[in-house]
A and B are shown apart, each in its own frame.
Chain A
Amino acid sequence: MDNIENTKLGKLKIIKAGSLCSIQDLGRKGWAFYAIPQSGAMDSKSASLANEILGNPENNPVIECTGIAATIEFQSDASISLTGGDPSWLIDGQPISRYKNITIKKGQILSGGKITHGFRSYIAINGILETQEIYGSSSFYLNANIGGHNGQLIKAGDVLKWHEIQSTKATNFTNKPRPFISKIKLKKGPEFDFLDTQSKSALTENVFYISKDSNRMGARLEGDKLSDRLHCTQPSLLNSVVVFPGILQVPPSGQILVILQDGQTTGGYPRIAYIDASHLDFFNQIAIGRAVKFQLKK
């Protein structure tokens, strides 16, 4: 990144952005003590893969689309890669595959629809996006309005600029799409034994759904049956305890609450389990309204 000022500048214009489109990298690490969440790509593996395909550093900031693809007019030539969920990407109306190095020309338009086989799609550019960098991370964090594009979500009309970098890999490097997995591995949390016997079985036998009341801070899970509400013998804790991305809490309502990337760092409900680190990316690709099943690691 030496002499970044001398590198060629690229530009793109956002024509349409979904309601939750932002710039993310692999997160703001080491500040959780001060209740500053890590943030970062919800599917970190897909984000770093997008960079790997272009020969970028894996922590290079990327564009994260949620639920629906952004429509982008490239105002400079660029090499890009598209990973994560599948919004049926198009360039000037022509279908384009994900997980490969794509050349896009000045004036061409990248677009797509509703994201399927996942919930979040990533766009990496062979360059370093101009971002607001806070504590070594470009990840946008909504509550504090820091990081990303001027501390804001990406919206229609925004112009993003990037500094071109030399790729270190062959330009035809491709990768297989990541699998979509909705059976999520759990490990027992500190208060697992607060769950009554029925709730312990419900946790792994029942099917839960991602509630529409979910965001980058946390996901609420709902079910059709009364037994989908879990019951703890001690519904709330006497003192505040630590929570972190991937942990499952059971509030008095019995509806599981999963803390995610932008989530708080302390809470007061029993922490019954946590998502295995290798499966948090998969969990975050499950769309609102879609089913999730848990598998408890012995």
Chain B
Amino acid sequence: MLKSVQLNNIDLEVRNFNGDFILLSLLSNKNAVGLCLFGKAILDKNFDFIEEVIATETEIYLKLNKLFNPNKLEQIKDIEIPSAVQSAEIKIPIYFEVEGDWKTIENISGINKQQYIEKLLKLDFTIAMFGFLPGFVYMNGLPKNMQIPRKATAAKYIPKNSLAIGNQYMGIYSLNSPGGWNVIGQLPISILDFDSLPAICLQPSDKIKFDQIDYASYSLLKNKSISIKEYNG
């Protein structure tokens, strides 16, 4: 069977777990840009022998069914991965005047809230992966001096549509949930919509920029309950 596949000149190890599932894993701690996008490309192929695809920044999981045979895996070698350059640029509105965990963030980053927000608004983020809960997105792009470690003990309740920081990632809690990330703001609209296919309007490698909004815009957008797509016009 296929032992490894190349992705943008990076070797991925192929491990078959008893024909139940396959893991495509990065052999070293190399930069993983594109792995999640590769996962999405496999998902979009709708292979008959694959039931589920899940991708993180370091591995891709393929749940197999009875139609799997090792030869079929050869097909994934020929998948063309869309270049990250073609990814969409999406603006996400954030209301920052929430209590959240600003005290922790000011203490750790050593800059005040206003300075932190100013820096944040200049940054470009990239959708790294999905995980944890439906619609929870992990975004890369936070420089080291703005990264905030996860809480030692998770908070019992984080309201849905919270923007939060967990180590190197920015994340959006798309549902009410317990969570260990540091909350910095609130989205007026949800990125999760079960009436759409797929339920999340963001894709791996999409470029994200945050817009600061005031309370009036926050309320307006919330009441209109428009989608991220509509917000981006």
Residue pair A36, B55 in contact (C-beta under 8 Å): no
Within 8 A of B (CB), among A27-42: 29-38
Interface: B110 (CB within 8 A): no
* A244 and B194 within 8 A (CB): no
The distance in angstroms between the C-alpha atoms of A31 and B39, with both chains bound, is: 13
State which of B20, B60, B61, B199 has its C-beta within 8 Å of the C-beta of A34. B199
A143 within 8 A of B: yes
**Interface flag for A209 (CB, 8 Å):** no
Is B43 an interface residue, CB under 8 A from the partner? yes
Across the interface, B54 reaches (CB within 8 A) one of A143, A265, A297, namely A265
Q: Which residues of B contact A242 (CB under 8 A)?
A: 23, 54-56, 59-61
Contacts of B17 in A (CB 8 A): 187-190, 274
Query: From residue A181, how far is it (CB to closest CB) to chain B in Å?
Result: 19
B91: Cβ under 8 A from any A Cβ: no
Closest to A297 in B: B18
Considering residues A238, A242, A274, which has the most beta carbons from chain B within 10 angstroms of its beta carbon? A242
Of the candidate stretches B77-85, B117-125, B132-140, B222-230, the one touching chain A is B132-140
| With contact pairs A239-B56, A239-B57 given, residues A33 and B199 touching in the complex (Cβ less than 8 Å) | no
Whether A146 is near chain B, meaning CB under 8 Å from some CB there, is yes
Minimum Cβ distance to chain B for residue A191 (Å): 11
| A33–B53 touching, CB < 8 Å | yes
Q: Which of A29, A143, A241, A277 contacts B134 (CB 8 A)?
A: A143
For B204, give the chain A residue with the smallest CB separation. Answer: A33
B residues 54-77 in Cβ contact with A at 8 Å: 54-61, 63
Q: Say yes or no: A35 contacts B131, CB within 8 Å.
A: yes
Q: CB distance A29 to B175 under 8 Å?
A: no
Q: Is the CB of B56 within 8 A of A143?
A: no
Question: Nearest residue in A to B52 (C-beta to C-beta)?
Answer: A32
Is B175 a contact partner of A144 (Cβ separation < 8 A)? Answer: yes
Asked if A4 CB lies within 8 Å of chain B CBs, one says no
Q: Which residues of A contact B138 (CB under 8 A)?
A: 240
A214 CB–B CB distance under 8 Å: no
Chain B count of residues within 8 A CB distance of the other chain: 40
Interface size of A as a range: 20 to 34
Contact with A along B1-37 (1 / 0, CB 8 A): 0000000000000010110110100000100100000
- The residue on A at minimum CB distance from B200 is A34
A264 touches B133 (CB 8 A): yes
A134 in the interface (beta carbon within 8 A) = yes
In the bound complex, what is the Cα–Cα distance between A263 and B23 (angstroms)? 19
**Judging by beta carbons under 8 Å apart, are B177 and A143 in contact?**
yes
Contact B134 A33 (CB under 8 A): no
* Cross-interface CB contact of B58 among A187, A189, A241, cutoff 8 Å: A241
**Contact A143 to B175, CB < 8 A, known contacts A32-B54, A35-B136:** yes
The chain A residue sitting closest to B192, CB to CB, is A144
| Complex partner residue of B130 from A30, A35, A187, CB under 8 angstroms | A35
| Cβ contact within 8 Å between A34 and B56 | no
**In the bound complex, how far is the Cα of B53 from the Cα of A244, in angstroms?**
11
Interface residues of A in 211-233 (CB under 8 A from B): none
The CA-CA distance from A134 to B32 in the complex, in Å, is 33
Tell me the A271-297 residues at the B interface (CB within 8 Å): 274, 277, 297
Q: Could you tell me which A residues sit within 8 Å of B by CB distance?
A: 29-38, 134-135, 143-144, 146, 187-190, 238-242, 244, 264-266, 274, 277, 297
Q: What are the 10 closest A-B residue pairs judged by CB atoms, nearest first? A: A266-B131, A242-B61, A32-B52, A239-B58, A242-B54, A36-B134, A35-B130, A240-B56, A32-B54, A265-B54
A to B CB contacts below 8 Å, 5 in the list: A32-B53, A35-B130, A189-B17, A240-B129, A244-B21
